[in-house]
Structure 1
Amino acid sequence: MIRVAACQYAIELHESWEAYADHLQGLCAEAVAEGAQLLLLPEYAGLVLSGQLPAGQRGDLKGSIAGIQPLIEPWLTLCESIARRWGIYLQPGSVPVLDADGRYRNRAWLFGPDGLLGHQDKLIMTRFEREQWDIAPGQGLWVFDTTLGRLGILICYDNEFPLLARTLAEGGADLILAPSCTDTVAGYHRVRIGAQARALENQIAVLQSPTVGLAPWSPALDENVGKAGLFVPPDHGMPGDGVVAESECLTPAASRWLVCNIDLDEVRRVRQEGQVFTRRDWPEQFDRVL
């Protein structure tokens, strides 16, 4: 049994590094106080760093991501120190990163009690990212070995594509972390339905963390709607609707953690003893159709 925490992360303005660092450490301390061993923040949570830029720059779509690049290394150091301090696993959301080829990529890092484990880039861009923001897709999918189990990361829109989660499941992932950022109820539900479908298809668990609230100072994070949730395959020993836990409202006034337990051994058991074998039967049916 492990205890996980997914944040409904309110986008707030922190105009100094000290204010932001205090905010992030305090927020993580709340989840740790509830016994969480794994903390998940949403897609583009790192973009809150743009609050430290001059008002004109943080209000410029492309200028804001260029301006935060010098802050990313200190941010990563802060995230690593939080994970080490409390002996937890921390996926602090994602942030646009300028790579050596001159393109920005939406990147999510994973930290553990012993430091950095690696990162996962978003692979499929939304229209906004592709057409207005010029964010480039990453390459490759990674499975992270941890003392809690084998984890994968699919950032927001990537959860709407079955073969990405299938690849992680075949690589041994038992839990997929799904940091998300959506500005409409429909957008939230697309990702949420995708996350729950991926849990059903692969007989694994999926943990979703969204952004929430209004941030008129940020052209990228100005409107945010979503619920945190933990999803599993609906089967013997699992919730009948596949929802282990879910936040109560779409737009809380402040950041809130959804803290809950998940037994990954029980999720694995479903793959061996469930009413159905969606994971095992997929390749058989797929080959027959072709």
Structure 2
Amino acid sequence: MTRFLVAAAQYPIERLEGWDAYEAKLTRWVDEAAAGGAALAVFPEYGAMELASLDPATMGDLAGSIETVSAQLPRVDALHSALAVRTGMHILAASAPRKDADGRFRNAARLFAPNGKSSVQDKLVMTRFEREQWDIAAGSSLRVFETALGRLAVSICYDSEFPLLARACVEAGAEVLLVPSCTDTLHGYWRVRIGAQARALEGQCYAVHSPTVGDAAWSPAVDENRGAAGVYGPPDRGMPEDGVLVVGAEGTAQWVFAEIDTAHVAELRADGGVLNARHWGEQPGAVALPPVEVVDLR
């Protein structure tokens, strides 16, 4: 499949009454994306932090919130896997802190395929609040996912602001870059959006941006959330002149939908008005790129 519809979530952080409320909310959101015709649904960075509200005793404590959410991940992932199989969609789950064997937490986005397969991309470059307040450790592996929709890569929020990460994925064949984000100011939102659009330009590919939205005063982790979902491409033939395929209304809980055609990525990389992807190595000082693992989810 080269042509498909993608849904990017402007996902609201909400206080949940219990697991059943979370399951109902996620199921409703996934079903809405499926009803809109999406083959791929993208949820934001740290959207899973609303699960901290399942434990009222710790939800007001940052460290306690992180522990609570991490402990829920096996059940959360089982739900996403079941929804992907039932709807026939690929789903990028909202990222969450995952506690690893070394006792450190890492910010993990998990991609679920409708055939039951799944994999994960950890965030690689930590923001100041993750380093200085959350004590989240950096991941180490960069992956590209071979799927029935094409080759997808994930660049979590701040990672999208570092071009060599996306470039390594492009050289490994990535056609669509998924950019889940969580930003508490419009400054942060625009940094990620500009990064996503720049990566689409450089790689002559699509970038799908999904942010958290809304206020959650009860949460010390995700109390303020600003942003708008969008799907971007390179400003070139067959694309909008500004590269913006769709963008949502900032702060509104909603899906935004756009059609992606990975065959058009190949066409532009071969014979676009410019050839950014091909000419990358001609930059003075172009450096060696990090290794990329290709994970087959077909």
Could you tell me the TM-score, scaled by structure 2's length? 0.94
Question: Aligned runs of 1:103-122 on 2, under 5 Å?
Answer: 103-122=104-123
Residue identity opposite 1:224 in structure 2 = N
**Which sections of structure 1, spanning at least 5 residues, go unmatched?**
none
* Preserved contact between residue 69 and residue 96 of structure 2 (Cα < 8 Å): no
* Preserved contact between residue 48 and residue 96 of structure 2 (Cα < 8 Å): yes
2-structure distance, mates of 1:51, 1:261: 35
- Identify the residue that residue 271 of structure 2 maps to in structure 1: 273
User: Partner of 1:35: helix, strand, or coil?
Assistant: coil
1:259 aligned onto 2:257: yes
Report the number of matched residues. 286
> Deviation at 1:69?
2.8
- Identify the residue that residue 234 of structure 2 maps to in structure 1: 233
- Identify the residue that residue 192 of structure 1 maps to in structure 2: 193
Residue identity opposite 1:37 in structure 2 = A
2-structure distance, mates of 1:288, 1:44: 33
> Deviation at 1:174?
0.2
C-alpha offsets along residues 78-107 of structure 1, whole Å, 9 cap, x if unaligned? 000000011110001100010000100000
* Preserved contact between residue 4 and residue 36 of structure 1 (Cα < 8 Å): yes
Distance 1:87 1:197, change over 3 A: same
Q: Which range moved further: 188-197 or 109-118? A: 109-118
1:31 aligned onto 2:33: yes
- Identify the residue that residue 21 of structure 1 maps to in structure 2: 23
Could you tell me the TM-score, scaled by structure 1's length? 0.96
Q: Which range moved further: 108-117 or 156-165? A: 108-117
2-structure distance, mates of 1:10, 1:46: 11
**Which sections of structure 2, spanning at least 5 residues, go unmatched?**
288-298
Q: Which range moved further: 19-28 or 261-270? A: 261-270
C-alpha offsets along residues 188-240 of structure 1, whole Å, 9 cap, x if unaligned? 00000000000001111100000000000111110000010111110111111
Residue identity opposite 2:255 in structure 1 = W
1:250 aligned onto 2:250: yes
> Deviation at 1:15?
2.1
2-structure distance, mates of 1:168, 1:245: 23
Residue identity opposite 1:284 in structure 2 = E
- Identify the residue that residue 130 of structure 1 maps to in structure 2: 131
C-alpha offsets along residues 54-84 of structure 1, whole Å, 9 cap, x if unaligned? 1x41010111111233311111000000000
- Identify the residue that residue 47 of structure 1 maps to in structure 2: 49
> Deviation at 1:136?
0.2
C-alpha offsets along residues 4-28 of structure 1, whole Å, 9 cap, x if unaligned? 0000001111120011101100111
Residue identity opposite 1:2 in structure 2 = F
Residue identity opposite 1:156 in structure 2 = C
Question: Aligned runs of 1:103-182 on 2, under 5 Å?
Answer: 103-182=104-183
> Deviation at 1:117?
2.4
2-structure distance, mates of 1:67, 1:84: 27
> Deviation at 1:250?
1.3
- Identify the residue that residue 9 of structure 2 maps to in structure 1: 7
* Preserved contact between residue 15 and residue 53 of structure 1 (Cα < 8 Å): no
* Preserved contact between residue 109 and residue 116 of structure 1 (Cα < 8 Å): no
- Identify the residue that residue 224 of structure 2 maps to in structure 1: 223
User: Partner of 1:4: helix, strand, or coil?
Assistant: strand
> Deviation at 1:49?
1.0
* Preserved contact between residue 117 and residue 144 of structure 1 (Cα < 8 Å): no
Distance 1:70 1:269, change over 3 A: same
RMSD across aligned C-alpha pairs, in angstroms? 1.4
- Identify the residue that residue 210 of structure 2 maps to in structure 1: 209
Distance 1:288 1:157, change over 3 A: closer
User: Partner of 1:114: helix, strand, or coil?
Assistant: coil
* Preserved contact between residue 153 and residue 177 of structure 1 (Cα < 8 Å): yes
2-structure distance, mates of 1:286, 1:236: 28
